[in-house]
Structure formats: C-alpha cells, structure tokens
C-alpha cells in the first residue's frame, strides 16, 4: 500500500511539473519547435502556432518543412528544405545560429520574418541527435523598419536632387550620388568640411550666417544661391536647409537639398525675354515699348525735356506677304528691323509694335526737327532694295510723328496721334513722314469708322453693281458691259469706288470685295442671257492683290462654272501700274486666264508707270486709254498726240483700243478718225442699274 501511495505521489508531482513546464513553454515569446530525427514536429508552443498561423494539432506529427512549405530568404528567393536550419542540424549534428527566414503565415496570409536558431540534443553515448530544438524570434517589425530605411537610402541615392547631411556644427557627414553628379565633388572630397564650402563667392548671403544668427526658431531656410563646381563654373541652385532635432528640441543635424537650376534659369530668362520682345525681330514688343514710353514721360515731365514717338508702317507689305509667302515676309521684317536699329541713337527704343508696324521712341530730343531728320534717314534706308532668296524687293515706309508735350501727355495719346500722322503720310502718297496735327484725330476716327462699315458692307447688303455699256465706235453696237461697284452707305449715301477701293486694298478687304463683284456680275450676265439679251461680255475690274493670290484662277473658273458661262463671256481689267513690280505671280495668273480664253485689258493706259516690256510678257487683247486724255483730246494737242500714239502702238502690237470717258459726239468722231476701236462714257450711258433699257437699245 505504501508503495502504491508513493507511486501516486510521484505521478502527481510529475503532472504538476509538466503543467508548470507547459505553462512556461507556452508563455515564451519565441516560437519553439521540437523535431525528431526525421524532422517531424513533436512539440510546439503557442508562439510557434501564431508564427505559422496553424493549430498545434495540424503541426505536430508533420515535418516542419511540410507544414511550413513557403519559406523565403532575405533576397526573396526560395529557402530549399535541405538548407533550412533544422534540417542542417539533423544532418550534421551541429547547431545553426541566427538564420533570417520569411515564413508564410496561413492565418494572416502574409510573410512573417524570423531569426531561427537550431540546437541538437543528444542521448549519452549517441553521435546523432535524437531531437532538435528550433527557436524562431519574430523580427517582422524590425525588418519593416530596415526595409523602410533601405528604401529611404535608395530613394536618397537615386533622387535627382543633391543631398548632403551635416552634424550640428555644419560639418558634412554624408552625401548622395546626385551630389557628386551635380557638383563634381565625391564624398571623400567633402566629408568633414563645412557646409559653406559648397557656396560660391558670388553669393551676397551666407546660409550658415542666417541659420546661426537667427533668434527665431525658423526650422530651416530655402532660396536661390550659387554653388561651386569642382571642375567647371559655378552654377545657380535652389537650396533647402532643414534642421533635425532630438526629442528635447536640440539640433542634431542639418539636411541640405539642392538642385542645379541653370537650365531653368535659361528657360525663365527666355520666357522673360519673349514676354517683352518680339520673337521674330528680337525687338521690344508692344508691352515693353509702352512701359518705356511711360518711363520716358516721367523723366521728361521731371526734367522739362521733349520726347518723340515715330510710328512706322511698311507700304503694301501685305501684297509681298501674299505673293511670296510668310517666310519671305518674315525675312523682310527682320531686315527692316535691322536697318532701323542701325540708324537710331543708343538711348532710343525701336519696337515691333505689331504686324508690319514699328515704333521708335526718341528721348530727350533737343529740337522738334530731330525726329524729321531720323524719319528721312529711315525712308532712305528702307528704300534701298532688299534681296531675299534671290528676289529683289523694293519697299517703302510711311511715318507719323507725335511730340511730348504738345501732341499728348500720356502714352496712349502719343501713340494714337503718331498713328494718325502715319495714315496722313499714306494718304499723301506713301513713302513720306508727317507730323501730327489736331485735325488728324478726327480724320483718323472717320477712317476707322469707314473701315469698319466697309468690312460689314457685304453682310449688310450695302454693295450694289452698276453697269456701263462699251460700244463699237464705228457701228455703235454693244460689245460689252463693265460692272462698277457702288457702296450704299447707311448714313453717307452712295459712295464711289475712288473713295473706298484704296481703303479696301489697304485693309485687305479687296479680296472679299473683288470676289463679290465677280460672282454677282457673272450672275447678272447669266440672267441677261436667259432673258434673251445678247450681252456677249461682262467686264470686271480686278485688283492686283486678287491676281497675286494663288487661288485666283480657280476662283475665276468657279464663277464661270457656277453661272454656266464661257471664258469668252468674261473680260478682266487691270491697271497698268499694277504690273510695275513685274510680279511673276501676277503675270503667270494673267497668262493662265488668257490661255483659257478670257480677255484681259490694261486699264488707264498712259496714266501711270507701265513697262512696255510687259506687253511682251502678257498677251492682253486691249488697251484702255485713260479718260484724262479723252477729256482734253479736242482742246489739247498734246493729249491728241498721246492718244494717236497709244492707238498706233496698240495696233502695231495687234491690240484693240478702247477709250473711256467719251461725253460728246465730237470726241467720238475724232477717236474714230484716230482709229480707236471701242468707246465707253456718258455719251452712251452713265453707269446704271441692270434694269435700264439702254442695254436693249444698244443691241438693236
């Protein structure tokens, strides 16, 4: 009995001891696994269960390498079974220490990082371990910190900005790769040096002084400074300095971050230049010249001096642009800008105000005549031919001059008045200059109003066509009808072409106006033909600007096709002076139209400059004698001789001659005696509406 009682006491004591062991075993933070010689888990504590995310009933009795099949190394590669610590210990009988592994946690579905230690246990007298104890210490939090730290280091080392760190005394202790790329200095070059070592002598401020002398808790600094480069010139940088403090608020380090802004500065300088300069001519633009005039006015008011504003405009620049293209036009503008710039004083400002307009600001002029002297020189220099891409271009300018204080006391007024004077110069025949006078302002406003109304005339239906018959002088029969545009202004009434055609040519509206006339004249001829009237030819006046457009021939063809007319039904008149510049585009277009069968007449022959050589280059059918000669043909022997000579010249070249402005039978008789072929004028009919009976009478 005593033996049985003693045995029970021992068993009870063992149970108590095992319970204490199990409690201690399960309370440990480390995961503990016991494995037999085959690697089968015989025991595991709660920490081990939590690391694998599996209950011990699943773990115990299975090989560790089976229940924990997804094991990785620090580099992310697979940890092979035979290389795992427990298997190495079982195979070699030697402990394996401090192996970092990633274990897949089934419950959390992610990896837990651990440090594994594997220890063999032997029975007395045996060479092979009868079991292995493996401990796993969870280092996931530490690992994440390391990963973040490594990532931060990688970012710092790969970032484009230069970074260097100093201690609290501003001695450099670390730099990144970009630091070396930007400055040329390596880490050994700068370690231990003061942060101020990198700052250029060009700087007017020292960052270290700002940080050291500030009584405020500024926390750092940022701004633009110049930095040194090891092997080349100093460079501008945008630098940020931040203080690093400990938990007590004491500064422990400084972090400097900087970037080379050389290219950024160049781009900014370029943008600043473009904001105030014309990109084509590199001259000050409208904004800058206005600012300089404002500044000049302040000086002039303070000093009692005079300034002058010269407003320049290239004459007929639009024609050159249309004929030769914008690239030639741009080259011409650059050459003009260069010539102007070379003539003015150093203190004067030359600006491209817009398009083909330039402004010259003259400050502190001693005499009101000085701007005129410059204006005359500008006219002379621009009159010299310009050669662009093998082309000889002849240009001219018109200038207007306004003076401070007499012509205006503010910038807008001075520019506006100089502009008005420039328009007076154009009106006076171009290629000259005019000073501003008060009546020009009223005139300029009136012209602006007329310009605006003219541009609206087509849409508002203010344009109308009148028609004047052309007759055979020998028979008196109708040979053609000339279409003549009139403008019925809403308030000014009927305006004749001489009043608005030059304005239309100047502002570019002539193209739209000419096409309107062409289309409506052809439409009227179609209507007459449909009514049985034998009007065989409609004559339309064409501006040289229209001829110089590349699509003009196509426009003519379209008008004929749209109205079902033959080329022989259409005649075009162009002034002789339009061919003065021997424009290849104009001559080419004329010859293309003649080849189609369209009659082309040189209008106002004898009134302007015309090269007889052009009669060989363009095979026109008729010359129209200017009305000024016809008007005096009876009373002035010179006009009679000129008329006789023009008719003889035309007939020798197999051209017909038509005289305009015939008002009497005596004029008609003399013209017939001189051999003139056709006539036009008030003797037969004034320009009239298409409903006039005169057209039927002349056909009878």
pLDDT in tens, 225-268: 888 888 888 888 888 888 888 888 888 888 889 888 888 888 88
**Cα(82)–Cα(96) distance, rounded to whole angstroms?**
13
- Which residue carries 């007929």 as its tokens? 316
**Cα(271)–Cα(263) distance, rounded to whole angstroms?**
12
**Cα(59)–Cα(63) distance, rounded to whole angstroms?**
8
Cβ atoms of 408 and 418 closer than 8 Å = no
* Range 192-198 contact pairs with CB under 8 angstroms and sequence separation of 24 or more: 194/170, 195/164, 195/166, 195/170, 195/171, 195/254, 195/256, 196/170, 197/172, 197/228, 198/164, 198/227, 198/228
**Cα(545)–Cα(157) distance, rounded to whole angstroms?**
66
Q: Give me the sign of the Cα torsion angle 440, 441, 445, 451.
A: positive
Cβ atoms of 109 and 87 closer than 8 Å = no
Cβ atoms of 644 and 637 closer than 8 Å = no
* Range 619-622 contact pairs with CB under 8 angstroms and sequence separation of 24 or more: 619/591, 619/594, 620/590, 620/594, 620/655, 621/594, 621/655, 621/656, 622/650, 622/655, 622/656, 622/657, 622/658, 622/678
603 contacts: CB under 8 Å, gap ≥ 6: 541, 573, 574, 575, 576, 624
Four-point Cα dihedral 330, 331, 336, 337, nearest 10: 70
Q: Could you write out the DSSP letters of every residue in 399-452?
A: EEEEEETTT-SSHHHHHHHHHHHHHHHHHTTSSSEEE--THHHHHHHHHHHHHH
**Cα(196)–Cα(226) distance, rounded to whole angstroms?**
11
Beta strands 656-660; 433-435: pairing state: unpaired
Cβ atoms of 677 and 658 closer than 8 Å = yes
Bridge partner residues of 251 (DSSP): 245
**Cα(330)–Cα(324) distance, rounded to whole angstroms?**
11
Tokens read off for 471? 């007759």
**What pLDDT score does 8 carry?**
59
Q: Report DSSP state, residue 86.
A: H
Q: What is the mean pLDDT of each run of 10 residues along the chain (700 residues)?
A: 59 56 68 89 87 86 84 84 86 89 85 89 85 88 75 71 88 88 89 85 71 57 87 87 86 89 84 86 92 93 92 86 82 93 92 93 88 91 88 88 92 92 84 83 71 86 92 90 91 85 82 91 92 89 81 90 93 72 71 88 68 69 86 85 88 90 91 92 90 76
Bridge partner residues of 134 (DSSP): 33, 118
Q: Domains along the chain?
A: 24-139 (3.30.450.20), 159-265 (3.30.450.20), 277-437 (3.30.70.270), 460-699 (3.20.20.450)
312 phi, psi to nearest 5 deg: -110, 145
Bridge partner residues of 224 (DSSP): 238
Tokens read off for 292? 């300089």
Question: The whole model's pTM is what?
Answer: 0.47
**Cα(674)–Cα(637) distance, rounded to whole angstroms?**
13
Q: Report DSSP state, residue 688.
A: B
SS3 string, 298-321, reads: HHHHHHCCEEEEEEEEECCHHHHH
**Cα(618)–Cα(651) distance, rounded to whole angstroms?**
16
- Which residue carries 């931040």 as its tokens? 242
140 contacts: CB under 8 Å, gap ≥ 6: 112, 113, 114
576 phi, psi to nearest 5 deg: -65, -35
- The secondary element (H helix, E strand) that includes residue 102 is strand 96-105
Q: Cβ atoms within 10 A of the Cβ of 73, count?
A: 14
Beta strands in 306-366 (DSSP E): 306-314, 349-354, 357-365
Tokens read off for 5? 């009682």
**Cα(150)–Cα(72) distance, rounded to whole angstroms?**
19
């Amino acid at each position: 009995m005593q033996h049985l009682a003693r045995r029970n006491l021992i068993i009870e004591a063992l149970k108590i001891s095992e319970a204490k062991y199990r409690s201690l075993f399960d309370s440990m933070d480390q995961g503990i696994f016991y494995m037999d010689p085959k690697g089968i888990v015989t025991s595991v504590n709660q920490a081990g269960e939590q690391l694998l995310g599996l209950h011990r009933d699943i773990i115990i009795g299975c090989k560790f390498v089976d229940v924990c099949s997804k094991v990785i190394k620090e580099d992310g590669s697979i940890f092979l079974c035979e290389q795992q610590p427990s298997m190495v210990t079982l195979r070699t009988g030697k402990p394996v220490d401090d192996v970092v592994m990633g274990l897949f946690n089934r419950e959390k579905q992610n990896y837990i990082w651990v440090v594994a230690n594997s220890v063999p246990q032997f029975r007395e007298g045996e060479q092979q371990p009868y079991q292995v104890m493996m401990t796993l210490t969870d280092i996931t939090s530490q690992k994440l910190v390391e990963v973040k730290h490594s990532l931060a280091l990688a970012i710092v080392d790969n970032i484009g900005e230069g970074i260097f760190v100093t201690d609290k005394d501003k001695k450099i202790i670390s730099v990144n790769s970009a630091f070396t790329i930007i400055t040329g200095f390596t880490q050994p070059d700068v370690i231990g040096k003061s942060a101020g070592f990198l700052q250029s002598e060009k700087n007017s401020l020292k960052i270290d002084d700002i940080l050291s002398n500030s009584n405020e808790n500024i926390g750092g600094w940022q701004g633009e400074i110049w930095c040194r480069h090891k092997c080349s010139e100093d460079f501008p940088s945008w630098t940020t300095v931040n203080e690093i403090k400990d938990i007590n608020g004491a500064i422990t380090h400084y972090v400097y971050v900087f970037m080379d802004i050389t290219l950024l500065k160049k781009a900014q300088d370029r943008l600043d230049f473009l904001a105030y300069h014309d990109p084509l001519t590199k001259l000050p633009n409208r904004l800058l010249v206005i600012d300089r005039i404002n500044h000049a006015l302040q000086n002039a008011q303070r000093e009692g001096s005079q300034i002058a504003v010269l407003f320049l405009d290239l004459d007929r620049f639009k024609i050159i642009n249309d004929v030769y293209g914008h690239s030639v036009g741009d080259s011409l503008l650059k050459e003009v800008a260069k010539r102007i710039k070379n003539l003015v004083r150093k203190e004067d400002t030359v600006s491209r105000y817009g398009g083909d307009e330039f402004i010259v600001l003259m400050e502190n002029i001693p005499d009101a005549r000085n701007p005129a002297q410059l204006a005359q020189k500008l006219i002379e220099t621009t009159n010299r031919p310009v050669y662009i891409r093998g082309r000889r271009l002849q240009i001219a300018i018109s200038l207007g001059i306004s003076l401070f204080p007499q012509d205006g006391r503010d910038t807008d007024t001075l520019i506006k008045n100089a502009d008005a004077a420039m328009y007076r110069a154009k009106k006076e025949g171009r290629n000259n200059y005019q000073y501003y006078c008060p009546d020009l302002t009223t005139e300029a406003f009136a012209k602006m109003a007329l310009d605006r109304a003219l541009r609206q005339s087509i849409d508002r239906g203010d344009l109308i066509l009148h028609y004047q018959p052309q007759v055979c002088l020998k028979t008196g029969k109708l040979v053609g009808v000339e279409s003549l545009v009139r403008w019925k202004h809403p308030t000014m009434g009927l305006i004749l072409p001489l009043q608005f055609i030059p304005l239309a040519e100047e502002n570019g509206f002539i193209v739209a106006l000419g096409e309107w006339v062409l289309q409506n004249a052809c439409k009227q001829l179609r209507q007459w033909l449909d009514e049985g009237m034998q009007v065989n030819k409609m004559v339309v006046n064409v501006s040289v600007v229209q001829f110089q457009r590349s699509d003009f021939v196509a426009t003519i063809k379209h008008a004929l096709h749209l109205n079902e007319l033959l080329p022989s039904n259409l005649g075009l008149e162009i002034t002789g002076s339009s061919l003065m510049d021997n424009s290849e585009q104009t001559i080419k277009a004329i010859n293309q139209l003649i080849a189609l069968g369209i009659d082309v007449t040189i209008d106002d022959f004898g009134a302007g400059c015309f090269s007889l050589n052009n009669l060989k280059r363009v095979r026109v059918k008729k010359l129209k004698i200017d009305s000024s000669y016809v008007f005096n043909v009876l009373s002035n022997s010179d006009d009679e001789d000129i008329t006789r000579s023009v008719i003889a010249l035309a007939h020798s070249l197999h051209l017909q001659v038509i005289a305009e402005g015939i008002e009497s039978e005596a004029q008609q008789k003399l013209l017939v005696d001189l051999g003139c072929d056709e006539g036009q004028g008030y003797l037969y009919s004034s320009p009239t509406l298409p409903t006039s009976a005169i057209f039927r009478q002349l056909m009878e």
